[in-house]
Amino acid sequence: MKNFIFPALLAAALAACTPAETPAPVEPAPAEQTEPAPEVEPEPAGSAGELDVAFELGFTEYALMRLAELGETVTISGMYYGEPVPEVAETMTEADGPVYVIGTYEAVVDPLDQTVTVSGAGIDPAKLANLADAPLLNVNIFTSRTKHPDNLINCTLIDGQVGELRAKPPATLCEMLDAN
């Protein structure tokens, strides 16, 4: 008898349900007629914006406190460089130094946790064209020595291909040299 009651109750419950009504199809709204977007000319290779590199500048709590007490600022010094093409390498002398520098950047900032952008605006396009490979960027960070004659901080090194640094923006942490 139990075998008969359950299927009968199930059948009665299903019979009481009515199928949901299917909504009428919705007509898509007509597409708005708009003017095509104006073509934006890409920046030429080696233009300033293409060579800008942003990074996170951070300080330990002790460094923030000490630099504030001293009233010292921080200098960001960037050097764009690379391997020159053979014709240029042949003309380089010892006076040119060990690397082929194509541009530099320098800025003085307050010692605060912040995003800093090293600008490629000062790069000589002729020197950029003389690179055998992608340009590289080296960033040094040190106290500006306005209040103390020595550099007082040690910061994480930033050095690499500009494209890679732009793709994965680096972070650097600065600490006081006297913290140890």
Residue 11, domain member (yes or no): no
The single residue listed with the structure tokens 């680096």 is 170
> Does residue 51 contact residue 120 with C-beta atoms inside 8 Å?
yes
The per-residue pLDDT for 21 is 43
Tokens encoding 65: 């406190």
- 35: pLDDT strictly greater than 60: no
Q: How many domains does the chain have?
A: 1
Residue 19, domain member (yes or no): no
* Distance between CA atoms of residues 164 and 134, nearest Å: 10
* Distance between CA atoms of residues 144 and 138, nearest Å: 18
Residue 4, domain member (yes or no): no
Residue 17, domain member (yes or no): no
pLDDT digits over 156-165, tens only? 999 999 999 9
Tell me the average pLDDT of the chain.
80
* Residue 136 belongs to domain spanning: 48-179
Residue 7, domain member (yes or no): no
Phi, psi of 137 (to 5 degrees): -135, 135
pLDDT digits over 38-95, tens only? 443 333 444 558 999 999 999 999 999 999 999 999 999 999 999 999 999 899 888 8
Residue 75's CATH number = 2.60.40
- 29: pLDDT strictly greater than 50: no
Residue 25, domain member (yes or no): no
Residue 134, domain member (yes or no): yes
Q: Is the pTM of this model over 0.85?
A: no
Residue 67, domain member (yes or no): yes
